[in-house]
């Protein structure tokens, strides 16, 4: 499936090669910032898995990896930003240099919640790295230190991002057709 363009895709936004080049460049920035230290990457399931894997392979430091999963609940219009941790970390992050890995930072509500939650666990440092940064929809400002791409307000799938759990395995990032057909 990943070598063809499914019919629900409008167009490819970033190719596999563009993603690989940008991930490598961001990994170099991360390597430079954390040189001489161990780094703990925390991926937000499920969307960050492909990005975290590609990024970890390019970082020139020893890395530890852990995951957490979140669930949103409530009415997104009347009560946006209500989230809870559905799967917590397996290990403590106390004293660790932590890099939170997101597939996309959108409104900022979820990322702010995760930052506040993780900061309370005593890490040595805590930063954000995201594949996609959609600042046009930002409601809550969050300090995204590392980003691969900034995008406009459009529905994107591939490289971990999904539409009803489909298309995560695309090797590129693509814009869905407006009608989904």
What's the CA gap between 34 and 21, in Å, rounded? Answer: 20
3-state secondary structure of 103: strand
What's the CA gap between 37 and 116, in Å, rounded? Answer: 23
Q: Which of 10, 66, 91, 106 is catalytic?
A: 106
Q: Identify whether 46 is preceded by a cis peptide bond (ω within 30 of 0).
A: yes
End-to-end CA distance of the chain: 17
Please say if 103 is a catalytic residue: no
Which of the residues are catalytic?
106
């Amino acid at each position: 499936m990943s070598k063809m363009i499914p019919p629900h895709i409008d167009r490819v936004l970033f190719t596999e090669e563009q993603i690989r080049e940008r991930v490598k460049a961001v990994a170099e920035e991360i390597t430079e910032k954390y040189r001489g230290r161990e780094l703990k990457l925390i991926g937000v399931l499920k969307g960050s898995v492909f990005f975290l894997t590609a990024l970890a392979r390019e970082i020139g430091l020893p890395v530890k990896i852990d995951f957490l999963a979140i669930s949103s609940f409530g009415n997104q219009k009347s009560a946006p930003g209500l989230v809870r941790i559905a799967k917590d970390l397996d290990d403590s992050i106390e004293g660790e240099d932590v890099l939170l890995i997101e597939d996309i930072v959108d409104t900022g509500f979820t990322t702010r919640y995760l930052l506040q939650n993780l900061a309370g666990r005593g890490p040595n440092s805590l930063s954000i790295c995201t594949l996609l940064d959609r600042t046009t929809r930002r409601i809550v400002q969050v300090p995204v230190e590392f980003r691969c791409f900034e995008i406009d307000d459009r529905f994107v799938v591939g490289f971990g991002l999904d539409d009803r759990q489909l298309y995560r395995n695309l090797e590129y990032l693509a814009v869905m057709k407006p009608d989904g057909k």
